[in-house]
Chains A and B, each alone.
Chain A
Amino acid sequence: MSLTRELMSALRARLGSASPLPPPPLAPAIAPPSRVFPSPATRNAFAVEASEHTTALVGIGAVGTRYATDVVLQFQAELAVAHEAVAAELPPGWAEEHGLLGLKSRVGSHREFLLRPDLGRRLDSESLARLEERAAKDVDVQLILADGLSAVACMGSGLALMEALARECGSRGWRLGTPLVARYARVWLQDEIGQVVRARVAAILLGERPGLGTGDGLSAYLVYEPRIGKTDGDRNMMSNIHPRGVPPPQAARRLALLVAAMLEQRRSGVSLDLGALGAELGEAASTGYRAPQRRERLVHVGEPGGPGRPGGPGEQGEPPAQHQYSKPGPAPGIPHRKEPRR
């Protein structure tokens, strides 16, 4: 036997044949772990103070270095809401049911929509023919509803925004185009549509990229003299349109002011002068503004507002105040989910 073999067998003998770990102790009674807050008083003071200034989830404490279970569940619910909004698609026939002319971009599937922004910016040939044949031409304003990155938002606040904006435009005497809804649409699809119907201004209202817990936000992009080849610098936009951000009726009034400015100044984008409109437009005048949102508590075991588990989270895990802004309303329907994400 080689020296190595001898050493190995001596080592094995020394380690013995018994189980490598001693038997565990009898399980003691395990008390529910307490979160690592120094005292409920200071925790609550911070959470209350923070909730006045931010919707960030702060003052949430920890178990060891990780989240408490109710924080995990709230987080997972918010993530699921965002993912469902991205995965949702406009159901077949939805356009007709709502009296809209339905169009589609050159994208053939939801996955392709995410991977090929170029295809989402042009109409497929069938849609182009339908638009040429059935839509009103030489209009002042062409409104386009679109799924964008959230069909949930399109079907939710989208319709309300479109109707409110149509009323605002109508009351100003502008000639409106045939109401349209576009599937698998990116912002720049408004250029081709507007060009075909010879609109002076095109406005596309589309679902924006969801954030954690929010899948129902819309953005609106406006462009004067829509033509293929317009760039982002030629557009004006408003984001965060939904009931907890800028509500649709308010957004519609501000968008109509933008349209009016474009028609008057015959331009849009960075060169559009909004100086005179600053006060009326409010936040819409500045670029990139996002009104603060409220964070809803999403997870309730049992019915919302029902009795909690006795001796449960109230003792040690009462969620911070900013979770408890409001009871969730009736769950917005998330119709026609596509297959589970790959």
Chain B
Amino acid sequence: MQLKATIRGRTYAFSSVKEVLGRSNPPKSGDDLAGVSAREAVERVAARAVLAELTLAELRENPVVPYEEDELTRLVEDSLDPQAYAAIRDLTVGQLREWLLEPGTTGALIRSISPGLTPEMAAAVCKLMSNLDLMVAGARCEVVVRANSTLGLPGRMSSRIQPNHPTDSVQGILCSTREGLSYGCGDAVIGVNPATDTPESTAEILRALHDLRVRNQIPTQHCVLSHVTVQMKALELGCPMDLMFQSLAGSERANRAFGISVGLMDEASELMRARTTNQGPNFMYFETGQGSALSSEAHHGADQVTMEARCYGFARRYQPFLVNTVVGFIGPEYLESGRQITRAGLEDHFMGKLLGLPMGCDACFTYHADMSQDELESLKVLLGAAGCAYLMSLPVGDDIMLNYQSSSFHDIPSVRALLGKRPTPEFDAWLHEREIMDGLSPGPRFGDPEVIR
């Protein structure tokens, strides 16, 4: 294994695959904080040159967290598809990049090799790609899932309504939800982050959203994003639940800080399989985001892109209906600026899709990050063009409970019209029936929340 490269007479030597992966990343404040980023621009290119020549087999043999120490590494290693792996094992990372960009590489072909890829491989190829590379390859990946509606079909872009409320007022949540539906949003999920993490309040919100969905015959699904153990108790209270949610991290230790493990998630998804109110077959919903492992000091000296990819290695075990990277929420110590947040959104979307997940993105910023509203609006168009399965949507993009800025109800129909994208086919028909949309144009009841009762 060659871990040295020379640029203009200077030789750069790296001590491990993990170090090469870290030094290859485009600049991120979180990698600086962790001390794993390139110390200068030329070193970064040297690391990429080394990375481009590593084979995928070498990446499999060098996971960033050892097999013995980490259940996620074991999960990935033990469940890798031998046939898919055999097809790609001798490619270098540079060749994988080129294969993904080749004209003959169809979505179906990518799907055929995906179960043979480890998260480290997805992260590695990501580091050799520019933003436009990530978009071109991301748009090519084919991931289609189904619950009460069918998400991820070509030419479609969906959205989550996120009607959060600082005190979980059900009336307040329903007001935001009705507003969002009247703008054609909510075909991915109507999902509430609760202020109070109890089974009773989770069940109360779920019942109210379920009633709204049934009353108005809306072909979508609902979810309350409390801790998975709270949702399991809520299910035992007998409430309707279309999707079960959990935040995931990229190492066993980081997941312990989230209060979860592979065993717990197995149990949760089995309970959900038995109890869910959605028509299936997909019923889990996960959120991830670069920097979460470092924030709990559980990154094992790896960079945040690689740790993020490892979340997807965990998520794919459960064939989720939605996976969402919350890309600018964590704060400037991990993603400092609009440039870094934009890059991270495109990276995560690509890596998740490559690993077979229906990737959405919460393109967002906190008010202490150096990102402008204009940069955020641009990112939504980039994600839409890259084939992102869904974006968030909130009133004016303002989360009044979590205090950050995301996409708005108005942004979804705007991006759809610009890119010629439609919502899920089921939801599209419902919007037409309710006269909210007329194809890609606003219909007579567009923006009128009274159309939903």
Using a CB–CB distance below 8 Å, which chain A residues touch chain B?
35-38, 42-43, 45-46, 49-50, 52-62, 64-67, 71, 75-76, 78-79, 82-83, 85-86, 114-118, 149, 209-212, 286, 288-293, 341-342
Q: How distant is B251 from chain A, measured CB to nearest CB, in Å?
A: 19
Interface residues on B, range: 35 or more
A75 and B397 CA atoms in complex are apart in Å by 10
Interface of chain B residues 317 through 361 with chain A (CB within 8 A): 331-333, 336-337
Is residue B401 within 8 Å, beta carbon to beta carbon, of the partner chain?
yes
Contact with A along B399-424 (1 / 0, CB 8 A): 01101110000100110010000000
Which residues on the A side are within 8 Å of B106 (C-beta)? none
Chain B proximity of A250: nearest CB distance (Å): 17
- Pick from A58, A60, A61, A210: contact of B403, CB under 8 Å: A210
- Residues of the A chain whose Cβ atoms lie less than 8 Å from the Cβ of B130: none
In whole Å, how far is B452's beta carbon from the nearest beta carbon of chain A?
10
**Given the contacts A46-B450, A53-B172, A211 and B33 also touching, CB distance less than 8 Å:** no
Report Cα–Cα, A61/B448, bound state, in Å. 7
For A115, the chain B residues whose CB sits under 8 A away are: 29, 32-33, 332-333, 336
A38 touches B367 (CB 8 A): no
Whether B167 contacts A67 by the Cβ 8 Å rule is no
- Tell yes or no: B366 within 8 A of A by CB: yes
Q: What separation, in Å, do the CA atoms of A242 and B169 have in the docked complex? A: 21
* Residue B196 interfacial (CB < 8 Å): yes
- Given A42-B448, A58-B395, A66-B414, CB of A290 within 8 Å of CB of B166: yes
A341 and chain B: residue at smallest CB distance: B370
Q: What 13 new A-B contacts, CB under 8 Å, besides A35-B447, A65-B414, A115-B336? A: A42-B448, A54-B169, A56-B163, A56-B176, A56-B179, A57-B398, A59-B179, A65-B442, A115-B32, A209-B367, A212-B367, A212-B400, A292-B166
Could you name 6 residue pairs across A and B whose Cβ atoms are closer than 8 Å? A38-B444, A56-B396, A71-B396, A114-B333, A292-B166, A342-B370
Residues of B close to A58: CB separation below 8 A: 175-176, 179, 395, 449
- Nearest-Cβ distance from residue A317 to partner chain B, whole angstroms: 13
- The answer to whether A54 touches B175 (Cβ under 8 A) is yes
Q: Convert B432-453 into 0s and 1s, putting 1 for each residue whose CB lies closer than 8 angstroms to a CB of A.
A: 0000000000101111111000
For the complex formed, measure the closest distance between the CB of B73 and the CB atoms of chain A, giving whole angstroms.
27
- B445 contact set on A, CB distance < 8 A: 38
Cα of A76 to Cα of B176 in the assembled complex, Å: 21
| Bound-state Cα–Cα, A288 to B196, Å | 7
A59 to B197, CA, bound (A): 29
List residues of chain B with CB within 8 A of the CB of A37.
447-448
Q: Is the interface of A mostly helix, strand, loop or mixed?
A: loop
Contact A53 B400 (CB under 8 A): no
Beta-carbon contact of A149 and B368 below 8 Å: yes
Among B173, B368, B445, chain A packs the most CB atoms within 10 A around the CB of B368
The answer to whether A65 touches B413 (Cβ under 8 A) is yes
Interface residues of chain B, those whose CB is within 8 Å of chain A, are 29, 32-33, 163, 165-167, 169, 171-173, 175-176, 178-179, 183, 195-197, 331-333, 336-337, 366-368, 370, 373, 394-396, 398, 400-401, 403-405, 410, 413-414, 417, 442, 444-450
State the CA gap A293–B396 with chains docked (Å). Answer: 17
**Is the beta-carbon distance between B395 and A62 smaller than 8 angstroms?**
no
Closest A-B pairs by Cβ, 4 of them: A54-B172, A211-B403, A53-B172, A82-B367
B-chain residues with CB within 8 Å of residue A116 when the two chains form the complex = 33, 333
Give the distance in Å from the alpha carbon of A293 to the alpha carbon of B399 in the complex: 13
Cα A144 to Cα B404 in complex, Å, equals 27
Residue of A nearest to B167 (CB): A292
Picked from A50, A62, A79, A82, the residue with its CB within 8 Å of the CB of B175 is: A50
Report yes or no: B403 in contact with A57, Cβ–Cβ below 8 A.
Answer: no
Is A36 a contact partner of B446 (Cβ separation < 8 A)? yes
A163 to chain B, nearest CB (A): 27
Shortest CB distance A215–B (Å)? 8
Q: Per a CB cutoff under 8 Å, which of B367, B400, B448 touches A56?
A: B400
Q: Among the listed A38, A149, A291, which residue makes an inter-chain contact with B450, where contact means beta carbons less than 8 Å apart?
A: A38
Q: Is the CB of B410 within 8 A of A65?
A: yes
* Contact yes or no, A75 B410, CB < 8 A: no
- With A66-B414, A83-B367, A341-B370 in contact, is A55–B400 under 8 Å at CB? yes
Does the CB pair A79–B395 fall under 8 Å? no
A114 engages B165 (CB within 8 Å):
no
Q: What is the distance, in angstroms, from B313's C-beta to the closest C-beta of chain A?
A: 28
Q: Which of B171, B175, B176, B403 contacts A212 (CB 8 A)?
A: B403
Cα distance, A342 to B337, chains bound together (Å): 9
CB distance from B125 to the nearest CB of A (A): 28
Which residues of the other chain, A, contact B336 by a CB distance below 8 angstroms? 114-115
A342 nearest CB neighbor, chain B only: B370
Question: What's the least CB distance linking A279 to chain B, in Å?
Answer: 18
Name which residue of chain B comes closest to A52, CB basis.
B171
Closest B-chain residue to A41, C-beta based?
Answer: B450
Q: Which residues of A contact B403 (CB under 8 A)?
A: 209-212
* B405 pairs with A290, CB closer than 8 A: no
Given that A58-B395, A211-B367 are known contacts, is A291 also in contact with B373, CB under 8 Å in the complex? no
Contact indicator A212/B195 (Cβ below 8 Å): no
Q: In the complex, which residues of chain A have a beta carbon less than 8 angstroms from the beta carbon of B171? A: 52-54
Supposing A53-B172, A65-B413 touch, asked if A209 and B179 sit within 8 A by C-beta, the answer is no
B373-A36 in contact (CB<8A): no
List the A side residues contacting B366 at CB < 8 Å: 209
Q: In whole angstroms, what is the CA distance A57 to B394 when docked?
A: 9
B398 touches A212 (CB 8 A): yes
CB contacts (< 8 Å) of A57 on chain B: these are 395-396, 398
User: In angstroms, how far is the closest chain A Cβ from the Cβ of B21?
Assistant: 22
Given the complex, which residues of A lie within 8 Å of B413, measured CB to CB? 65
Contacts of A53 in B (CB 8 A): 169, 171-172, 175
Q: Name the contact of A86 in the complex, choosing from B175, B337, B368, B405 (C-beta under 8 A).
A: B368
**A290 with B449, Cβ < 8 A, contacts A67-B410, A114-B332 known:** no
A115 to chain B, nearest CB (A): 5
With a CB–CB cut-off of 8 A, which chain B residues contact A82?
A: 367
Q: Is there contact, CB below 8 Å, between A56 and B172?
A: yes
Given A53-B171, A54-B172, A115-B332, CB of A59 within 8 Å of CB of B449: yes
**Cα distance A184–B220 when bound, in Å?**
46
Which of A38, A43, A61, A342 has its CB near the most chain B CB atoms (within 10 A)? A38
Measured in the bound complex, the distance between the Cα atoms of B336 and A47 in whole Å is 37
Nearest CB of chain B from residue A56's CB, rounded to whole Å = 4
What residue in chain A is nearest B170 (Cβ atoms)? Answer: A53
Is the Cβ of B333 less than 8 Å from the Cβ of A62?
Answer: no
Which of chain B's residues has its CB closest to A55's CB? B400
Q: How far in angstroms is the closest Cβ of chain B from A68?
A: 10
Neighbouring A residues of B179 by C-beta, 8 Å: 50, 56, 58-59
Complex Cα spacing A294 to B275, Å: 40
List chain A residues, Cβ under 8 A from B448: 36-38, 42-43
Known: A38-B450, A209-B403. A62 touches B368 (CB 8 A): no
Q: Which residues of A contact B368 (CB under 8 A)?
A: 86, 114, 149, 209-210
The complex places the Cα of A67 from the Cα of B409 at a distance, in Å, of 10
User: Across the interface, which residues of B come within 8 angstroms of A60, CB to CB?
Assistant: 395-396
* A338 → B minimal CB distance (Å): 13
